[in-house]
Amino acid sequence: MTENKTFYITTPIYYPSGKLHLGSSYTTIACDVLARYKRLMGFDTFYLTGLDEHGMKIQRKAEELGLTPKEYLDPMAEDVKALWKKLDISYDKFIRTTDTYHEEAVAKAFEQLLAQDDIYLGKYAGWYSVSDEEFFTETQLEEVYRDENGVITGGIAPSGHEVEWVEEETYFFRMGKYADWLLDYYETHPDFIQPEIRKNEMINNFIKPGLEDLALTRTSFTWGIPVPSNPKHVVYVWFDALLNYITALGYNSEDDSNFKKFWPGINMVGKEIVRFHTIYWPIMLHALGLPAPKKVFGHGWLLMKDGKMSKSKGNVVYPEMLIERYGLDAVRYYLMRAISFGQDGIFTPEDFVGRINFDLANDLGNLLNRTVSMINKYNDGRIEATTATTEFDGSLEEVVTDTVAHFHEAMDKFEFNVALADVWTLIARTNKYIDETAPWVLAKSADDKAKLNNVLYHLAENLRVVATLLQPFMRATSGKIFTQLGLSETSFSIEELAFGYDFVNPVVAKGEPIFPRLDVEEEVAYIKEQMSGGKTVEKEWIPEDVELNLTLPEIKFDDFEKIELKVAEVLEVERVEGSDKLLRFKLDAGDSEPRQILSGIAQFYPNEQELVGKKLQIVANLKPRKMMKKYVSQGMILSAEFGNELRVLTVDKDIPAGSLIG
Ligand code: ME8
């Protein structure tokens, strides 16, 4: 670990205003993924999170409950810490802005700016939203209320919250003085605000129209940090809150070694608070003689189909409920995979359950299961690299190298969904490699033993690479994969990751499936029920006047999914001796050898040779069946009956044999 290889990442500090939902957990999980990734890349990493505990909002909330702010806040802080524990958040420090070291450091910073004349005493008159803890000019309001004389009596902030009139003595920060410096800073630090689009918003909507001086203290309530030289003023909650990112490191305290080591760092924030972090925050730091953050990344919101989560809409998802039923890793995976980090994304129960089934149970789970059982079956659970290669090894190893490189590129850009998609490309390629090399065929001949072992080695090694890359996202799952591969290591460095690990004669454990398949309908109904607070949710609307003409009962989608349908080309066909019904087909269905299917359709094809060269549809995974004592039929040919006729189902000539139908 080199001296300057440090990484500092922060979440916003949360308002303790109630139980945190899945949307609030989103930032914390994303930062955790980054922190874990950087640690595995050999960085000395510091991850900060915490609570924003001052301000009018908290004071009023506590009063409503008949509590002092502290009595209200302490249990809340414990609840939040308990949630982060459930989400396996590896923070290095949890700051509360009521911590003494923070309060002292903020007071000192305020006095410094006052002494420098960056702060001056004046009078504020304007609109304030308590919910947002934010000042607004009339023109910034979404809506204004007027009395019969046209005088404005109130209004609505862009967030949808009510504003109230505030008129009081206040200290102002000379923001305007630093506008040119800030524009120049953006210009010379093109990566400071990300994604890029948020930068233009800041410049055009807030800086260019003119930066107003910021009211920095309040006198109409007391729940805040008092200004030492004039204690009837308490410091504005955002000034107090933003400084947490450096006071947590010991800034303005006796031991500021962490501050010296880690600042400047990266601030990860939701898009609605980018303004505070990219305008006020760098100006405050600059005025204090300190560097601005390396980067402020404004991520999007996690939304529901009908907009933001809210109890009144009955669409709130709490992470605890999902974790309890589906496990933590499914939740972390979903949030990081399903949504492009910089943009808004919509949570739907269908998508969530689908991802678990397809990505986790099918793609990843099956690869692990097949690999482990083949290593057990064909080589007594030992993983041995040999020099007997197959023609597919080179391209497979190339995909490993490419995946690792792309993964790093994506992680450096905070493109978590892209990084995971890269890992899944490797998983899909490895699954295909099983089909290409057909280990069960190699297992039939003793001469192919070395080749077989090398194929099995490639499978195990790719899974080790996959699990290594997944560590920041799904620690428990990676651990299970390492265990099933018989590895005693519980973690691998991502920094040193390369194909070619020497498995020291490990015995592969026969493990349980890491993600069991879910019944989609049942689970979607369950999640919807939980979202609506336990009420049974009405079934989706089905047109009542459509009568389905069925001969068999309905089946679930999951049942249908078990059937593998494929395109197969007729290579040869002949009548079966001793039967007037059966035709014996030799078909190319993309298997290593032509497959044989017997089908009782002879009477409909007096000239059966007309079928040669046709591309048919077959059920490919039907259990093989012995017919006429000597023929094994491996599948079924699909056909349609109408009147007294029957025709096999054909497909376009240019669809290759072996293609999956679905
Ligand atoms: O803003 N999707 O606190 P906060 C994504 N105390 N992110 C969401 C979300 C959702 N549905 N809901 C909330 C504050 N968040 C201040 C910060 S920092 C010096 C002070 C995110 O509790 C939101 O975008 O209102 C914000 O980044 C974070 O949760 C905390 O929000």
Average pLDDT, the chain: 93
For the chain, residues classed under CATH 2.170.220.10 are 116-218
Give the amino acid at 229: S
Q: Ligand 1 centre and the CA of 25: distance in Å?
A: 9
SS3 257: helix
**Res 245: pLDDT:** 98
Averaged pLDDT, 443-452: 96
Q: Ligand 1 centre and the CA of 574: distance in Å?
A: 71
Residue nearest to atom 5 of ligand 1 (CA): 301
Residue 500 contacts by C-beta under 8 Å, 6 or more apart in sequence?
385, 461
Cis peptide before 543 (omega within 30 of 0): no
How is residue 251 written in tokens?
Answer: 């800034």
Q: Ligand 1 centre and the CA of 432: distance in Å?
A: 42
Q: Cβ(27) to ligand 1 under 6 A?
A: yes
CA distances from 437 to 426, 430, 433 (A): 16, 11, 6
pLDDT tens-place string over residues 574-624: 999 888 899 999 999 999 899 999 999 999 999 999 999 999 999 999 999
Quote the CA–CA distance of 476 and 499 in Å, as a whole number.
22
Q: Ligand 1 centre and the CA of 270: distance in Å?
A: 6
Q: Cβ(302) to ligand 1 under 6 A?
A: yes
Q: Cβ(352) to ligand 1 under 6 A?
A: no
> Closest Cα to residue 656, out of 584, 589, 602, 586?
589
For the chain, residues classed under CATH 2.40.50.140 are 563-661
Ligand 1: nearest atom to the Cα of 245:
19
CA distances from 463 to 112, 360, 412 (A): 56, 13, 23
**Res 4: pLDDT:** 66
Give the amino acid at 39: R
Averaged pLDDT, 502-507: 82
Averaged pLDDT, 567-571: 96
CA distances from 367 to 223, 320, 433, 615 (A): 56, 29, 10, 30
Q: Cβ(13) to ligand 1 under 6 A?
A: yes
Q: Cβ(22) to ligand 1 under 6 A?
A: no
**Res 550: pLDDT:** 74
Return the percentage of the chain with pLDDT > 70, whole number: 97
Question: What's the distance, CA 152 to chain centroid?
Answer: 45
Residue nearest to atom 19 of ligand 1 (CA): 242
**Res 540: pLDDT:** 45
Q: Ligand 1 centre and the CA of 11: distance in Å?
A: 9
Q: Ligand 1 centre and the CA of 15: distance in Å?
A: 8
Q: Which CATH architecture has domain 349-547?
A: Orthogonal Bundle (1.10)
pLDDT tens-place string over residues 72-110: 999 999 999 999 999 999 999 999 999 999 999 999 999
> Closest Cα to residue 618, out of 640, 592, 589, 654?
589
Averaged pLDDT, 381-405: 95
Record: fold of 563-661: OB fold (Dihydrolipoamide Acetyltransferase, E2P) (2.40.50)
Q: Ligand 1 centre and the CA of 373: distance in Å?
A: 46
For the chain, residues classed under CATH 1.10.730.10 are 349-547
pLDDT tens-place string over residues 124-155: 888 999 888 888 888 889 899 998 888 889 99
Cis peptide before 513 (omega within 30 of 0): no
Residue 542: is its pLDDT beyond 50? no
Q: Ligand 1 centre and the CA of 353: distance in Å?
A: 26
Residue 538: is its pLDDT beyond 60? no
Return the percentage of the chain with pLDDT > 90, whole number: 80
Q: Ligand 1 centre and the CA of 251: distance in Å?
A: 24
Quote the CA–CA distance of 61 and 75 in Å, as a whole number.
14
pTM of the model: 0.80
Ligand 1 pocket test: pick from 27, 281, 310, 315 the residue with the most ligand atoms within 8 Å of its Cβ: 27
SS3 633: strand
Q: How confident is the model at residue 539 (pLDDT cuts 50, 70, 90)?
A: very low
SS3 578: coil
Ligand 1: nearest atom to the Cα of 309:
11
Residue nearest to atom 27 of ligand 1 (CA): 270
Q: Cβ(15) to ligand 1 under 6 A?
A: yes
Q: Ligand 1 centre and the CA of 24: distance in Å?
A: 6
Residue nearest to atom 31 of ligand 1 (CA): 14
Averaged pLDDT, 402-417: 97
Ligand 1: nearest atom to the Cα of 17:
22
Ligand 1 pocket test: pick from 9, 13, 14, 22 the residue with the most ligand atoms within 8 Å of its Cβ: 14
Residue 537: is its pLDDT beyond 60? no
Query: What CATH number is given for 116-218 in this structure?
Result: 2.170.220.10
Q: Ligand 1 centre and the CA of 431: distance in Å?
A: 40
Q: Cβ(329) to ligand 1 under 6 A?
A: no
Q: Ligand 1 centre and the CA of 293: distance in Å?
A: 19
Residue nearest to atom 4 of ligand 1 (CA): 14
Question: What's the distance, CA 516 to chain centroid?
Answer: 20
Residue nearest to atom 26 of ligand 1 (CA): 270
